[in-house]
Chain A
Amino acid sequence: MSAPFLEVLATPALNSVQDLGRPGQRRWGIGPTGMVDALALQVGNALLGNAPDAAGLELQLFPVRLRVLRDGAIALTGADCDARLDGRPVPPWWALPVRAGQVLELSPPGATRRDLAAPALRACLSVAGGIDVPEVLGSRATHVRCAFGGLEGRALRAGDVLDAGAAQAPAFRDPAGFGALPPATALPLGDDPEATTVRVIPAAEYPAFTDASHAAFWNDPWRVTIQSDRMGMRLEGTTPLKRAVVQEMRSHGIVCGVVQVPPGGHPIIQLNDGNTAGGYPKMGVVIDPDLWRLAQLPPRRLLRFQRCDLAQARAAALEQEDYLAGLRRLSALSLMTPEAA
């Protein structure tokens, strides 16, 4: 059973209820949507003992202020927003108990703290029991372009009241809560501190690009432009990517992380709200276990591509699963189940 749990006191546009997405609906032209940093949501859910796919709030614009309406528990993961609960600092990647009447405040990442280890973009707020909105086509994710799912098919706004699923929140052994080793620490990748590295499997049209394009793709840093949102991110580099033989392509299904190259030569990476199909040639596709790294790329941040194959991608997926399984096992020890409390 669920009951009102959070009231939105203030939020900019573009923050929404998201879960792990809406698979299996491509025959209707419906893409995945869901939390762009799906790993952050899974970490938050692991800390709270939620189902892995319980819905949370994706917060990508700030400041955000929320009032707690009922005693319970929350987790904040993803971008470090210098969160304050009734003025008291909440560390990043953290789960803690909350009481009715408390106010949670999040600032733009890096605006109030100058000591973030790396730039970040999107925060995830999980609640014990998950945000409870009606399921549409098997998911609670907001599909903003089609105006369904989430809270009335739209982004959050002041005055919204969100229900949470758990009638009884888990009890914490320490009222200060506990947290997760951030994925950037637990699953490090790349050796350029100025850039984020992601692994890419070459795609069908990779051989059609010139040698110079191949070299630039793997060796150059690519800058994220401000033309970036939940649909995708456009990149800029010094060497535009060109095909040796230019052919008119056929439209085909595409996935999150696909690196498409329009004729201008500046790649576009597709994200969760992007189209389900496209027709630009594909240099490659960022592997699923690295999509969370893309989710945290703010405009102007540099990105590097690291070549990868299916076996390495599978190893990366297993490594991420191990990290999450460890968190689920260990957080259970930091929580007392409602029965035991």
Chain B
Amino acid sequence: MAATKTKAAHNVFELAAPRVTPMGSAACLLEGEGPMCLPTQRRIWAVGRAAGDLKGVTDTQPGMNNLLVLYDPLATEPEALQAQLLALWIATPDTPAPGKLIELVVRYGGDGGEDLEEVARKKSMTPRQVAEMHSSAEYTVFAPGVIPGFGYLFGLPEPLFLPRRDAPVNRPLLLNVFIAGLQCNVSGPPVPGGPQVGPTGWYSLGQLIDAPAPFDLTRDPPGLVEPGDRIRFILDEVLE
């Protein structure tokens, strides 16, 4: 997919040069330059590993071609840390990151795929065409998700690009497959007594069937997927 075209076509955020900006008083955000792509993301992962060893850093979290770095403001100089991160970014080359392949079976549409028809309508496609296009691609786990799960996935076919909704809507959070922008993710998993729905600006295409638990505290490590892993969605059926 020609990622460079998306900027003009969809007005997607893109930086000409990398930058580090404060994220409040105890974190900062490193953002890579250029279009969203895998080589940039491999550098993000590498910088994330290295940044964890910097003085005062308490945690790091890759995003989509960006890296959140959390620190103890009384244990480091925030401005110096920002400069260090930028230098680290510039000095870090693209590093291969072999990941494992995970296959996830999806039932598109119906309950849990509430937005399939809306996406199809907006793209002048049938729901089945949307499902087939979505499941034709291989996705890379770019970053951890908003809660324990399968993370932020990169690799959405460009014709399925849709900006986030203007106002969040409530959607099921039961291992549902969502898309927004050029990203894809899977919500959940459900927890006993936990919320079954939540607000999101993303579009829900379907629901996983017989999915492996992405997070299990009795496992070590507890998470199933890590950045660099690849995911294939297997089309089970399309409910219209």
Contacts and interface: CB of A to CB of B under 8 A. Distances in A.
Interface in B39-91: 58-68, 70, 73-74, 78-79
Interface string A246-289: 11111111110110001110000000000111111010111111
Interface string B112-137: 00000000000000000000000000
B146 interface: yes
A276 B12 contact: no
Interface residues of A, number: 57
B100 interface: no
B167 A23 contact: no
B166 A27 contact: no
B5 interface: no
B191 interface: yes
B74 A318 contact: yes
Nearest to B181: A248
Contacts of A253: 23, 27, 29, 61-63, 66-68, 143
Given A247-B13, A250-B64, A252-B66, A288 B25 contact: yes
B63 A251 contact: yes
Contacts of A154: 193
B195 interface: yes
A288 B13 contact: no
A246 B12 CA distance: 9
A146 B193 CA distance: 9
A269 to B, nearest CB: 11
A26 B24 contact: no
A234 to B, nearest CB: 10
B22 A285 contact: yes
A28 B59 contact: no
Contacts of A310: 22, 25, 73, 78-79
Interface in A40-91: none
Interface string B129-164: 000000000000001111111011000000000011
Nearest to B12: A248
A286 B26 CA distance: 10
Contacts of A146: 147-148, 191, 194, 215
A255 B25 CA distance: 10
A188 interface: no
Contacts, number: 189
B201 A201 contact: no
A323 interface: no
Contacts of A264: 166-167
A28 B227 CA distance: 10
A321 B70 CA distance: 19
Contacts of A203: 21-24, 29
B226 interface: yes
B13 A249 contact: yes
Contact of A252 (B29, B145, B149): B29
B146 A277 contact: yes
A151 B165 CA distance: 37
Nearest to B11: A247
A31 B226 CA distance: 16
A259 to B, nearest CB: 10
A275 B217 contact: no
A69 to B, nearest CB: 26
B235 interface: no
A74 to B, nearest CB: 28
A147 B226 contact: no
Contact of A145 (B36, B163, B195): B195
B194 A144 contact: yes
A250 B181 contact: yes
Given A30-B148, A277-B145, A277-B146, A145 B191 contact: yes
A147 B193 contact: yes
Given A29-B146, A146-B147, A253-B29, A248 B65 contact: no
A24 interface: yes
Given A253-B61, A277-B63, A247 B21 contact: no
A209 interface: no
A34 to B, nearest CB: 14
Contact of B19 (A29, A31, A147, A204): A204
B104 interface: no
Contacts of A30: 147-148
A258 B10 CA distance: 26
Contacts of A23: 58-59, 70
A279 B180 contact: yes
A8 interface: no
A137 B217 CA distance: 9
Given A29-B144, A248-B12, A262-B201, A288 B73 contact: yes
B110 interface: no
7 contacts: A29-B144, A204-B31, A248-B11, A249-B13, A252-B31, A288-B26, A317-B25
Interface of B: 10-13, 19, 21-27, 29, 31, 36, 58-68, 70, 73-74, 78-79, 143-149, 151-152, 163-168, 180-181, 183, 191-195, 201, 215, 217, 221-223, 226-227
Given A27-B60, A279-B180, 5 more contacts: A136-B217, A145-B191, A248-B164, A255-B70, A262-B167
